[in-house]
Amino acid sequence: MNSFKSHFKFNKQERSGIFFLLFFLISLQCGYYLYKAKTIGQSTPLQIDSVLQSEIDSLKIVALGKDTVRIFPFNPNFITDFKGYTLGMSVAEIDRLHEFRSKESFMNSAKEFQNVTKVSDSLLNTISPFFKFPEWTQNRKTKSTFKSNTFTQNNKVKKIVWKDLNTATAEDLRQVSGIGEKLSARIIKFRDRLGGFLVEEQLQDVYGLEADVVERALKEFKVVTKPDILKINVNTATAEELSKLIYLQKHVAKSIVNYRNLNGSINSLNELVKIEEFPSERINRIALYLSL
């Protein structure tokens, strides 16, 4: 015990040395904090580089311009399912237009277009500036029952009869130059997996069918009778149900479900293009089979 206490016994000189050492350390620490406080108080406030900010703003404007969908003048009497979807029309509005056109009638004003399709005023105001009615629709004396599936040449009228792409047999398809036994069977198999073609453009999705062959086929075949498709709700469907759609592979269907679980819900079908490996080039086809 005595040897332990001997470690804390200091003479007068040692106690003075320890005191001055502590005083020096405390003074050094206080000087550091005073210097730091003074430096912070005199720091230069953050300044915005106006030139750089202007460049950033201009780049943002260019980026927004690239994301904007451009609409070119078109005749609203001939809006396809695909065109109607890109314009923001609902399925019911598109069906009303096609039903009106099936009676071989034509519209010649934006007001008539709204009366037929029942589109909202906001949508009409957005797309009507791009309406381009041909001269013959403006002529009130022109018969509204002008037949769209006829053409006149040398004062002779020849009626074009389209073959239905959804009822065509393999033999019918082989009449098109470039479609043989294998391709005709492949087209029918693809059609069966779809449940029937909804739009003619889906013929382009058949593997091995060249673009020029598709073009020749569509000169003879059209989607005359559309199948009844039960749309898949993308916010409630399971990955297995989504993968039944021919355009979606199983791992993509799982990614859609994972994305939905992370974000709560999918508010727009265009959100799907954000998902990794989603076939964004076919979003317009896929959207025909999905609902929110």
Residue 156 forms part of a structural domain: no
187's CB contacts (< 8 A; 6+ apart) are 170, 173, 179, 203, 206, 209
Same domain, 249 and 196: no
Same domain, 185 and 140: no
- Lowest mean per-residue pLDDT among 29-33, 68-72, 111-115, 214-218: 68-72
Each residue's pLDDT tens digit, 198-256: 888 888 888 888 888 888 888 889 888 888 888 888 888 888 888 888 888 888 888 88
Residue 150's pLDDT band, with cuts at 50, 70 and 90, is very low
CATH number of residue 181's parent domain: 1.10.150.320
Quote the number of domains for the chain. Answer: 3
Residue 261 and residue 235 in contact, taking contact as beta carbons nearer than 8 Å: no
The total of other beta-carbon atoms located within 10 Å of residue 281's CB is 8
Residue 148 in this model has a pLDDT that exceeds 50? no
Rounded Cα gap, residues 157 and 224, in angstroms? 22
Q: Looking at residue 131, what DSSP letter applies?
A: B
Same domain, 169 and 201: yes
Residue 10 forms part of a structural domain: no
pLDDT at 5: 56
Residue 48 forms part of a structural domain: no
Domain closes at, from 201, 222, 243: 222
Domain closes at, from 90, 117, 148: 148
Residue 257 forms part of a structural domain: yes
Task: Tell me the percentage of the chain whose pLDDT exceeds 90.
Answer: 2
Domain that holds residue 266: 232-291
Same domain, 130 and 174: no
Same domain, 127 and 89: yes
pTM over 0.75: no
Domain closes at, from 107, 125, 148: 148
Same domain, 83 and 138: yes
Residue 186 forms part of a structural domain: yes
Q: What is the mean pLDDT of residues 114-143?
A: 74
pLDDT at 141: 43
pLDDT at 278: 86
